[in-house]
Amino acid sequence: MSEKIPVKLQKIDAWRWLIPREGNMKTDGLVYADEKMIKDIQKDQSLLQVANVATLPGILGKSTAMPDIHWGYGFPIGGVAAFDMDTGVVSPGGVGYDINCGVRLMRSGLSRKDIQNKIHQLVDTLFRNIPSGVGSHRKDLKLSYQELDRVLEEGAQWAIKRGYGSAEDREHLEACGCIDGADPKMVSDRAKERGRAQLGTLGSGNHFVEIGYVEEVYDVKAAQKLGLEKDGVTVLVHTGSRGLGHQVCDDFIRVMLEASRRYEIELPDKQLCCAPLDSPEGKKYLAAMASAANFAFANRQLISHWTRESFEQVFKVGPKVLQLEVVYDVCHNIAKIETHDVQGEKKKVCVHRKGATRAFPPGHPELPFDYRELGQPVLIPGDMGRYSYVLLGTEKAYQETFGSTCHGAGRLMSRHEAKRKAQGKSISKQLESKGIIVRGASRETLDEEIPEAYKDVSDVVQVVHEAGISKKVLRLKPLGVIKG
């Protein structure tokens, strides 16, 4: 797209690479990858983006990138950057357009053989019950603007209070499904207008609901504590804050372009635009971002509820038999105010995770009681043809990456390449021959989301496991997928 600027890279060990501080960089860059991956990573400008992030004021620790790193707007996707609350900045580009895009995993009392003959019916029922195409939404969910403000303030709790789920669900969501400090007044009318009809919809692109089963268990004890065992049926939900979050990001990029000029923040790339955390612009963004994040939590909560209903409709049994319970729910596009050890001192910092997942260690007070000794569950979705992983957060992640790890496979091919590769072949038929039933709103989406368009997520997971910033627990295999 444009000329490639070489970035200096030093190998630390088999899993870590250092981008040494130089020029305007205020700290080093740190990239998690193996030898083979780093070659691919060097093909785009994402390493330059890691270096660019390191130039921002008040950055703490290192500008970090996960093995699923790829080029993003301003900040790379797969990037983690923490900032000092007094001298640091917050940037919409460090969160991304789809605020609180994230993943939820549910377990069930069903085993693989229970659903073998029902998978077509399940996928069709999910596709009918969960709106995913253009303009589609549930007729039974109409939201006034006042009610939308409550969604933005309360997150998942808003949905649970209205009967879409249970109090136990809430315990198993990151931040209990509600980011503090949300203020709907900081969200533009246009964002609310875009969001109002989109609550409880899946959205397009790589978003999905996936029925799968536990294919392989690496840590039996941990799996047990998560209520998962081999062949157990699971559901993964991947979606975010829809048009509302995109509009918040877009609105604040404009605010931050102006703010960066006003606060004289030198930007190597316009899309890194930001404002000091303690400035009015910074605080407003955090309040708007939290609102959008809460919208996303409510969205995943609603979709989970309709997933449960779909299973009940197909199996004609009640929730007590199906036991579709939330294992965990993680954000992978977010900025969070968290307490971390910075040079031996406990400190509140703002951690940006853009295409990165929180991975808190065992014993962390923010973990739900039943997982406290275990560490935080980390959910890593792969492409629709292969597999997904469940990992756990570690102490090492807490020390090295502000408690963060990877988030998914990361794209390998452009949409055009993927389409070319898919040409003439029916992707859904191909997947069906492998035992995976897929339904999508558009043929284009399916073609552009072919498994080959993504990196093999097992390579990504292997790096974070070997580097010690998360621990493999089990692998899930898809059986049925609905795509937006």
Partner 1 sequence: MRKKFRFIDHTADIGVVVYGKTLTELFQNAAESFFSVLLKLKNIHEKESRSFSLDAPGLEELLVSWLNEFLYLFETQGLLFSRFEIKNLSKEHLEATAWGEKYVEGKHPIKRVIKAVTFHQLKIAEKNGRWQTQIIFDL
Which residues are the active-site residues?
407
Q: Does 383 bind partner 1 (CB under 8 A)?
A: no
Total of residues contacting partner 1 (CB under 8 A): 42
Q: Which of residues 248-287 bind partner 1 (CB under 8 A)?
A: 249-250, 253-254, 257, 270-271
Q: Which of 112, 413, 428, 459 binds partner 1 (CB under 8 A)?
A: 413
CB of 279 vs partner 1, minimal distance in Å: 20
CA within 13 Å, CB half, 231: 7
Token pair in block for residue 124:
């069709």
Residue recorded with tokens 């295409």: 355
- Is the C-alpha dihedral spanning 288, 78, 93, 72 positive or negative? negative
In angstroms, the CA 300 to CA 329 distance is 9
CB of 63 vs partner 1, minimal distance in Å: 19
Q: Which of 18, 71, 372, 399 binds partner 1 (CB under 8 A)?
A: 71
Point out which residues pair with 410 in neighbouring strands. Answer: none
CB of 149 vs partner 1, minimal distance in Å: 18
Q: Which of 63, 69, 70, 80 binds partner 1 (CB under 8 A)?
A: 70
- Helix or strand holding residue 322 (H, E): helix 319-322
Q: Which of 428, 442, 458, 462 binds partner 1 (CB under 8 A)?
A: 442
CB of 71 vs partner 1, minimal distance in Å: 6
Q: Which of 125, 204, 301, 394 binds partner 1 (CB under 8 A)?
A: 204
Q: Does 317 bind partner 1 (CB under 8 A)?
A: no
Q: Does 98 bind partner 1 (CB under 8 A)?
A: yes
In angstroms, the CA 435 to CA 65 distance is 35
Q: Does 205 bind partner 1 (CB under 8 A)?
A: yes
Segment lying near partner 1 (by CB under 8 A), choices 66-74, 279-287, 362-370, 396-404: 66-74
DSSP E strands: which ranges in 365-416?
Answer: 377-380, 388-393, 404-405
Segment lying near partner 1 (by CB under 8 A), choices 70-78, 105-113, 287-295, 395-403: 70-78
Q: Which of residues 107-136 bind partner 1 (CB under 8 A)?
A: 133-135
Q: Does 246 bind partner 1 (CB under 8 A)?
A: yes
Helix axes 280-315, 145-154, angle to 10 degrees: 100
Residue recorded with tokens 């951690």: 351
Report the amino acid identity of residue 137. Answer: H
- Helix or strand holding residue 147 (H, E): helix 145-154
Q: Does 2 bind partner 1 (CB under 8 A)?
A: yes
Segment lying near partner 1 (by CB under 8 A), choices 30-38, 388-396, 408-416, 461-469: 408-416
What does the chain come to in residues?
484
Q: Which of 17, 73, 83, 402 binds partner 1 (CB under 8 A)?
A: 73
Q: Does 97 bind partner 1 (CB under 8 A)?
A: yes
CB of 261 vs partner 1, minimal distance in Å: 10
In angstroms, the CA 102 to CA 238 distance is 6
Q: Which of 190, 347, 396, 439 binds partner 1 (CB under 8 A)?
A: 190
CB of 200 vs partner 1, minimal distance in Å: 15
Q: DSSP string spanning 71-121?
A: --SSSPEEEEEEEETTT-EE-GGGT-SSTT-EEEEEEEEEEHHHHTTTHHH
Window 4-33: contact mask with partner 1 (x via CB under 8 A): ------------------------------
Token pair in block for residue 249:
């990001």
CA within 13 Å, CB half, 183: 8
Q: Does 176 bind partner 1 (CB under 8 A)?
A: no
Using the minimum distance from each CB to partner 1, give the nearer residue, 205 or 227. Answer: 205
Segment lying near partner 1 (by CB under 8 A), choices 71-79, 162-170, 212-220, 297-305: 71-79
In angstroms, the CA 208 to CA 248 distance is 23
Within 8 A by CB and 6+ apart from 374, the residues are: 222, 225, 226, 362, 367, 392
The two beta strands, 470-483 and 437-440, are parallel
In angstroms, the CA 401 to CA 421 distance is 37
Q: Which of 114, 193, 215, 395 binds partner 1 (CB under 8 A)?
A: 193
Looking at residue 377, the DSSP 8-state letter turns out to be: E
Using the minimum distance from each CB to partner 1, give the nearer residue, 455 or 471. Answer: 455
In angstroms, the CA 165 to CA 159 distance is 7
CB of 352 vs partner 1, minimal distance in Å: 18
Q: Which of residues 135-164 bind partner 1 (CB under 8 A)?
A: 135
Segment lying near partner 1 (by CB under 8 A), choices 50-58, 114-122, 197-205, 388-396: 197-205
Residue recorded with tokens 């209903």: 309
CA 8 vs CA 11, 13, 28, 30, 463: distances in Å? 10, 16, 11, 12, 21
Q: What residue ranges bind partner 1 (CB under 8 A)? A: 1-2, 44, 70-73, 77, 97-98, 133-135, 190, 193-194, 197-198, 203-205, 243, 246, 249-250, 253-254, 257, 270-271, 411-417, 441-442, 444-445, 448
